[in-house]
Structure 1
Amino acid sequence: MSVGVVVILFNPDVEHVRSLIDAFCAPDWNVILVDNSPSPQQALLTTDVTYLHYPSNIGIAHAQNVGLKVLFNEGSDYAFLLDQDSLFSPDIAVELVRQFQDLEQRSPIAAIGPSIYCQFSECVDQGVLQKGKQVSEKLKTVKQIIASGMLISKRAFERVGEKENELFIDGVDHEWCWRARAKGMVIYQSLSACMPHRQGDDRVKVCGVTFKQGAPIRLYYQFRNVLILARRHYVPLYWKLRHVCAIPLRYLVNRYCFEQGKTRGAFMWAGLKDGLKRKTGPIEHALIPKSSVKKSDT
């Protein structure tokens, strides 16, 4: 049995990535770094890992596909997907692999991920509307999991297919999970393996409601991909209703309550227009406002 680790990078904290590499330096792990940064990370060019650089930024979905295909073609049976800031350890990985192997003997498992300890709320994320169904002391089934910490087998990847390149970034992990479920496969979340995680750059409370705050350009992909995914039959109805109905409120909060409101507004409008046109792929350069920050996290 061989297990690989794919880490997606974009202008990363090199020291943190090095700590991930060091943690998984044993022969049991095969580490692939897929870097979308404009410039190569020279400090990560070591013999310990396979380093693939795409300065044009091919997007997170394509980067994940590249890393997974390299691992599976080289003989790995299983692969983890990690973000560049994931606080992931071999102990978490070993527990997830053990659970995956046990489950695949008796169910059509597509993926498993750890429980998520939100570093903003300082508690384990239970989900807002969908908390999943507990099936044992250590496991529950869910409709989707985030990509960070997701474990996929070669068999599941071949059956479900690749991550959707055209979504580029937001919604990629959830869409793959929903597609897997439409094919009769199951998504699990471990209750015994827990990973600290930060989603977004900050949390801002407006009128008693907490909103995630991220880079302005991400709003383009979030708004566009909500409109794209909401048209698909296999996407859960609760997700469609929650995210489509939230568009006006999210627009007002990002436009008038967050910093860089004008820039955020421009990205949201561009995303809504392209979502209605069903346009996919990376944002066109002409749509990027001149006032936007130069360093985005796409």
Structure 2
Amino acid sequence: MQKRKLSDICMSICAIIVTYNPDVSMLLTLIESVDKQVDVLCIVDNGSSADFYLNFPFDYISNFKFIKLEDNFGLGTALNKGIELARKLGMEFVLFLDQDSICSQGMVSCLVKHYKECTLLKVAEIGPRFIDINNSNISQHVNYRTLRVGHIPCPEKLSVVQTDVLITSGSLIPIHVLDFVGPMDESLFIDHIDTEWCLRAKSKGYVLLGDCEALMSHNLGEYRKRIWFIYWREVPVHKAFRYYYIFRNSVLLYHRKYVPWSWIRIDLIRLIEIFGFTLLFGPYRLDKITMMFQGIRDAFLGKTGKLPSCQNRNSDS
């Protein structure tokens, strides 16, 4: 595949895709969607099955790097391994991608163009809007309102808006910002890694930009359940072990000095809602609620990292 010319945007970019037993067809679609848009494509595999990549068609990917981790060390560790490689290769930017995302044509060039247009701002990262694979809805960028997450509209003729948080996938971050703000927090393992880094960057005086024109298809949840609670709403439903990390990492972040009360207030309400929805409507509710309380307990005990393997279950129970 022919790469885009560096002179087109005068910046070198390494895309970092973190994988864990991915759907091969979706991963190949992601690679095809981004390969021509970046200079280096790096897959960091987080301990997938031993024979998973034996027959993977690596040869057709140009300027490709592969990092195989022997175990699942978590999203933060995998992202940091990719960042280290990008830094060694002299890249100026990293582009984070989840294995279940698909980049739109010209997405990366759009992100870079709008980043360059905001040189008067101290920009930490810029990210696209998302098309939910499940329902084709296009997301809006967000800010923290009094009691809930607010949506920031993209007015006509405005290419970017300032946002309070960006999710990992699709985020374009300059290496020099990572040098100053620091790497991803590996102690969280999964969940809130993107939130924590965004809050840390903002505490150091940086702004986050939501791109109004760049788009990416993304799977925003394992699956969603439509329920009636005051009004009709769709609630994400996760495997039991995920609730351990969601609750533990939230409580861990509540104790950090750079985390603002505006985020804590909204996130605490979100945890209460998750607990209530799970208790009233969720499948396997006993196991999930047990994981929630274990996560809260471990946060107060200062435990971080990976949940013991005997409890880190991949079933929906």
Aligned to 1:124, what secondary structure does the other structure show? coil
The answer to whether the 8 Å contact 1:18/1:44 transfers is: no
CA distance, structure 2, for counterparts of residue 92 and residue 67 of structure 1: 21
Q: Which residue in the other structure is 2:6 paired with?
A: none
Question: Could you tell me which amino acid in structure 2 is paired with residue 22 of structure 1?
Answer: E
Shift of 1:63: 0.5
1:256–1:295 distance in 2 versus 1, CA, 3 Å: closer
- 1:165 and 1:60 map into 2 onto residues whose CA distance is 7
Match of 2:301 among 274, 277, 282: 277
Q: Quick check: 1:118 aligned with 2:165?
A: no
- Runs of at least 5 residues in structure 2 that lack an aligned partner in the other structure: 1-10, 143-147
Change (3 A) 1:295 1:66: farther
The one of 23, 27, 32 equivalent to 1:17 is 27
Alignment of 1:216-235 (within 5 A): 216-235=240-259
Aligned position for 1:2: 12
Match for residue 7 of structure 2? Answer: none
Q: Are 1:80 and 1:150, in contact at CA under 8 Å, matched by a contact in 2?
A: yes
Tell me which amino acid in the other structure corresponds to 2:124: A
TM alignment of 1:77-96, pairs within 5 A = 77-96=92-111
Matched, 1:138 2:138: no
Equivalent in the alignment of 2:112:
97
Correspondence 1:191 to 2:205: no
CA-based RMSD of the aligned residues comes to 2.4
Shift in Å at residue 255 of structure 1?
4.1
Q: Which of 185, 189, 192 in structure 2 is aligned with 1:164?
A: 185
Deviation, 1:213, is 1.0
3-state SS of paired residue (1:192): strand
Q: Which amino acid aligns with 2:284?
A: Q
Helix, strand or coil: the match of 1:44? coil
Shift of 1:79: 1.3
Query: Contact 1:134–1:141 (CA<8 Å) still a contact in 2?
Result: no
Cα 1:154–1:57 change in 2 (3 A) is same
Cα distance between partner residues in 2 of 1:252 and 1:80 = 36
Quick one: which amino acid aligns to residue 185 of structure 2?
E
Deviations 1:78-135 (A, max 9, x none): 11000001111351111101112232x3221110000123344543323452334869
Identity %: 26
Output the TM-score relative to the length of structure 1: 0.89
| Equivalent pair of 1:72/1:154 in contact (CA under 8 Å) | yes
**Equivalent residue number for residue 39 of structure 2:** 29
Contact 1:133 1:142 in 2 (8 A): no
- Paired residues for 1:232-247 under 5 Å: 232-247=256-271
**Structure 1 residue ranges without an equivalent (≥5):** none
Query: Is the Cα–Cα contact under 8 Å of residues 284 and 316 in structure 2 kept in the other structure?
Result: no
Does residue 1:260 correspond to 2:284, yes or no? Answer: yes
Number of residue pairs aligned between Structure 1 and Structure 2? 292
Render the CA deviation track for 1:51-94: whole Å, top value 9, x for unaligned: 11113101001101111110121011111000001111351111
Query: How many angstroms does 1:164 deviate by?
Result: 0.4
In structure 2, the residue matched to 1:52 is 67
Contact 1:132 1:143 in 2 (8 A): no
1:72 is the counterpart of 2:87: yes
Q: CA deviation at 1:252?
A: 3.5
Q: State the 1:295 CA deviation.
A: 8.9
Q: 1:16 to 1:133 in 2, by over 3 A?
A: closer
| Deviation of 1:41 (Å) | 2.0
TM-superposition CA deviations, 1:198-242 (whole Å, max 9, x none) = 221112133234321122211110010110111223223232112
TM-score normalized by the length of structure 2? 0.84
Code of the residue aligned with 1:272 in structure 2: it is: I
Give the C-alpha shift of residue 243 in structure 1: 2.0
Whole-angstrom CA distance in 1 between matches of 2:226 and 2:315: 26
Task: Give, in whole Å, the separation in 2 of the partners of 1:45 and 1:52.
Answer: 15
Is 249-258 or 261-270 further displaced after alignment? 249-258
